[in-house]
Structure formats: C-alpha cells, structure tokens
Amino acid sequence: MTSTTRPQNDGGLSRRAVLAGATTAMFVPATAAALGTSAVAVSPSTASRPSAAVPAGTTHRITMYVEELGGGQVGYGLEPGAATIPGPVLEMYEGDTMEITLVNTTDRDVSIHPHGVLYDTASDGSPFNASYNGPGETRTYTWRTTGERSMGRWSRPGTAGYWHYHDHAMGTPHGTGGLAAGLYGALIVRRRGDVLPDRQFTCVFNGMLINNQSAPHTPMFEARLGETVEFICIGHGDMFHTFHLHAHRWANNRTGYLEGPRDPSQIIDTRDLNPGDSFGFQVVAGEDVGPGAWMYHCHVQFHSDGGMAGIFLVRNADGSMPDGAQESIDWFHEHEGGH
C-alpha cells in the first residue's frame, strides 16, 4: 500500500529532495504501518515530488531496486531494503523525462514497463525487445512525456494522466509471475497547474487481492476531514472488477474535477477496473458526509464477499477518531476475516 502527504501547490519542493547526479530525482516513496491487525496507509514525513517551479523538460534520475520480500512476494523500492507492494509512486510533469536505473537483486529475470508515456524499444521492459534485467543485472530505462499538440481545430493528446508501471519479464515473457508477486506501482504525469493533493493512495486490484492482500488485511487508507485525497486505481490479473468508494464522488475524466458548471463529465462513485487499466481522482475527505469509517471495495459481489474490500478512514479534522468509527473497524475485522 502507498500513502503520501502532499505539499500545497505553491511551486516549492516538498519536505525532501533526493539528488541524483546533476538533477533532482523526484519521487514519492511508499510506506506502511500497522494499527492493531489492520493494514493502515500512513503519510511519511519524507515525501518528495516534482515541483512546478522546476523548468519544463527536466530529467529526473532515480534508482530502483527489485527485492524479494518473502512468501513469494517481490517489490520495487527506491533504496535497498525498502521495497513495497505496490512500488513507489513515480511522478513527472508533461515535458519531463525520467531515467530509472533498475537494480535486480533477485535470481530471476525482471523489468519495468510503463503505460502512457513515451519510450524506445531499449526501454520497453520486455523480453520481446531484449530490454530487461537478467538475474543480478542493472539496466537504465528512459521514459519521456509530452504535452498536448495543436492541429488547428483539433489537437493530439499529451501524456498527462494516471498511469502505472509493472514487471514484464518474471515468470513468462509477459511478466505474469512478477505481477502476481507484486511488481507494480503508480505512474502520474501531471499538467502544470493541476491540483496537488494532501494525501495520496495507490489501490491495485490484482486477481482477488487488493495490493496483494485480502480482507481484513487490505490497506486502511486514512485522512482527516477536509483534506484533499488522491486515489490511483490500477487493475492487474485475469478478472473483471469495479472500484466503488462509499459516500464520495468524482468526475469521470482525467483529474476527477469538473472544469466549471457546464462540464458534461459524468459524476460517478464506481468505475470498472480491469487488467491493465488505471485511473485516478481526487476527493475532499468527508465532504458533505462527515468523518467516519467508509468502505471501498470491488462491486462484483462474489469478489467483495471473497475479501476485496477495505476501509477509507476519515478522521475528525483534529485527527481524533470519529464516533462509531472504531466499532466499524472492529466489525470489519470480525466479519471480513477467514477468506
């Protein structure tokens, strides 16, 4: 699970910028913490993200590590010993480039393959193009982005969006083993001026699991009343899913925001989330409904009954637990167990 405290959109850097060579590697690390027996998504104080003040066309250089996590699980991390499932959220602005030096610490073939951005065959991350890491190997992948391009009355889309990355080499030439083991993460390309959230969560429906966990061990995402929360939703595996978030709504477009009173975008609280798909949106935690323990889950009924459900905990504005929330969490652990 991933969670990130986000800075306000003031053009400055967040709490930490990690230098890599002559440029700054902008990324969002993933962390997890436990609360009782639940998996809780928390917000690290060391989060970092690309700044709108950095010139367009910046190259961000980062190093990522593929590591065994035990129990057949494998993850991506930004430091040795820091691999997580999902992997870290990677972010750029349109026009930027990201160079990822991938270090394979395992004894299996691995890679990193992106969706939505631009790359050549040497950075495809596929055995088909011989662009992968053998056991113990290090390889650099380069991803580029572009803005919208005008064609007069029409325009060609850029690369802004909520995308994702994943292994494409472990187990089979399509990375089926890597995906099952947890080698996946979120990739965001923003436009300058996009709203930056206070908190950020990655939710991956992978087979019958959420972030490779089943209820009641699925992540509990936490925010305070009134905070802006960003969800990045990703689908993997072989099954049809739908993502539903209780009591919160968003616009079915690139950002989740309406662009004015005449924006015709559909307002939704449920969206298909099938293998290879990804989308994202922002909501104001508890807006018009108040704090509390709200559920998110797959709305395919036998999937939710089978453990594809979790909790979005909206605390009071002062961080305290809302009335009845702990009872709901306890109920979840009692009734969603045993899957």
- Domains within the chain, CATH numbers bracketed: 2-335 (2.60.40.420)
In this prediction, residue 1 carries a pLDDT of 42
Averaged confidence pLDDT in the chain:
86
Q: Is a pLDDT exceeding 80 seen at residue 309? A: yes
| pLDDT band at 108; cut points 50, 70, 90 | very high
Q: What is the pLDDT of residues 319-330, one digit of tens each?
A: 999 999 999 999
In this prediction, residue 12 carries a pLDDT of 29
In this prediction, residue 10 carries a pLDDT of 34
Q: What is the mean pLDDT of residues 58-70?
A: 96
Question: CB-hemisphere CA count at 13 Å for 212?
Answer: 22
Q: Which two tokens stand for residue 288?
A: 């018009």
Q: What is the mean pLDDT of residues 173-199?
A: 96
Report phi then psi at 155, rounded to 5. -145, 155
Q: Give the DSSP per-residue string, 125-142.
A: --GGGT-SB-TT-EEEEE
Q: Is a pLDDT exceeding 80 seen at residue 27? A: no
| pLDDT band at 230; cut points 50, 70, 90 | very high
DSSP 3-state percent helix, strand, coil across the chain (nearest 5): 10, 40, 50
Question: CB-hemisphere CA count at 13 Å for 236?
Answer: 29
**Least confidently predicted of 1-15, 239-253, 272-286, 287-301:** 1-15
CA-to-CA distance for 209 and 273, rounded, in angstroms? 13
Q: What is the mean pLDDT of residues 254-274?
A: 95
Q: What is the pTM of this model?
A: 0.85
Q: What is the pLDDT of residues 134-182, one digit of tens each?
A: 999 999 999 999 987 766 676 677 899 999 999 999 999 999 999 999 9
Q: Identity (one letter) of the amino acid at 285?
A: A
In this prediction, residue 149 carries a pLDDT of 73
In this prediction, residue 293 carries a pLDDT of 98
* 23-25 and 18-20 strand pairing: antiparallel
In this prediction, residue 151 carries a pLDDT of 66
Q: What is the mean pLDDT of residues 291-301?
A: 97
CA-to-CA distance for 269 and 92, rounded, in angstroms? 27
* 38-41 and 33-35 strand pairing: antiparallel
In this prediction, residue 148 carries a pLDDT of 79
Q: What is the pLDDT of residues 238-253, one digit of tens each?
A: 999 999 999 999 999 9
| pLDDT band at 51; cut points 50, 70, 90 | low
Q: What is the mean pLDDT of residues 271-289?
A: 97
Question: CB-hemisphere CA count at 13 Å for 241?
Answer: 33
